[in-house]
Amino acid sequence: MQSINIGLLGFGTIGTGVVRLVQKNAKIIEQRLGCKVNLVKIADLDIVRDRGVSLAEGMLTTDANEVVSHPDIHVVVELIGGYEPARSLVLKAIQNGKHVVTANKALLAVHGQEILQAAEKHRVEVLFEAAVGGGIPIISAIKENLCGNNFHSVFGIFNGTCNYILTRMTEDGEDFSSVLKEAQAKGYAEADPTFDVEGIDTAHKLALLISLCFGTRVDFSKVYTEGISQLSLVDIEFARQMGYKIKLLAIGKEEGGQIEARVHPTMIPDDYPLAQVDGVLNAVRLVGDFVGPVTLQGAGAGMDATASAVMGDVMSLGRNILQGIKTRSPVMGYCPASIQDLPIKSMDDIVGPYYLRFAVMDRPGVLAQIAGILGAHDISIASMIQPDRQEGLSVPVVLVTHDAREGNIKKALDEIDALEVIREKSHLIRIEGSLD
């Protein structure tokens, strides 16, 4: 019986999970695939540390070239992360005729075009289900199950660290810094959490999904990215009073040949499906013209969930290899000749409702001044909250606008912040009232 031989680049948490899965589920993998999956080589800088799994003598190596150049390996699984040496090793594996499975969303978001062009040239496949949503099968859903749809939008909660922090802030009233320390202690957040809490990890994933859904190349530097580190408990409480929850939302839309690509804290109605996704869970919501809205939810990271996604890609490639098929499905879901360069809409041109919070001196006429400036920029007020007066003290004024152009909002806030009665820089949070 023919076997599918794989080599791993990286033997950290996810690599260990892949080894555990291959060993524990060897029988069911063989029953479903029709052949065995063999681990041939594993490369890592540390081949001494005990990972709690048994390996054949000689399987471990510190030389990654032994994996990407091994004559018997069919599929190279890249689990190093980051840009280099992952990029160089993936390209070398492709040049050597190896199929590639990767969980590296940062690599694909920044160097994806180079890698995909190399894969097309050498007639091999690059699969990356594990790069977005961990165990959630969103990539295969877009490329296979729902590929007959014209997608209107893709939204999601793509980072478990941020979602855990926001859940604890919302439910328990803990401030950001306290919950972040707790998340680090529990292993939900890295020692340096910047990529997570500043939205960069989420933006990497959104760039990939936009490419898949809308058939366009995405310049990652143009994806608007804003994290949660500046969120205040005050805003979370006001959101609750108004029937909203705040989530770090990834938003991709296509309309009129333009793409919205943005990641930022977003108020969504608390009865909306994504508002119910709490803790470390992730969720993705697609809207297609025929299928309508589809929401997928599950573990977005972690050893087992990510290993599951990696092995799904390995087995998909294995079926192709057994049938002598190469590049059955386009890597990015569209035939390369059909992929476009659609422009990304400027944030100034985004239109929607906004939450605005001002810290003002409690004096007569303050609201009239604020409302006058907003009105001069074509911004109308939908609702307002003003706590009880505290004579002589700074008090919050919270407004929710009707749909407005963001460029107008920013100009108005610049004028308002220059007023003598404003005590601190105003706060803005975008609202998504309907994600369908």
Residues known to be catalytic:
205
Rounded CA separation 14/295 (Å): 25
**What are the strands of the beta sheet with 60-61, ordered from one edge?**
60-61, 36-43, 3-9, 75-78, 99-102, 126-127
> Residue 307's closest CA among 39, 47, 117?
39
Q: Which long-range contacts (CB under 8 A, 24 or more apart) does 373-382 make?
A: 373/412, 373/415, 373/416, 374/399, 374/401, 374/412, 374/416, 376/412, 377/404, 377/408, 377/409, 377/411, 377/412, 378/404, 378/405, 378/408, 379/404, 379/408, 379/409, 379/412, 380/404, 382/353
Rounded CA separation 205/308 (Å): 18
Structure tokens at 425: 């820089």
Structure tokens at 275: 């508002």
Which segments of 125-243 are extended strands (E)? Answer: 126-127, 151-157, 224-225
> Residue 330's closest CA among 69, 99, 119, 39?
119
Question: Across the chain, which distance is largest between two alpha carbons, in Å?
Answer: 85
Rounded CA separation 217/339 (Å): 7
Rounded CA separation 150/213 (Å): 8
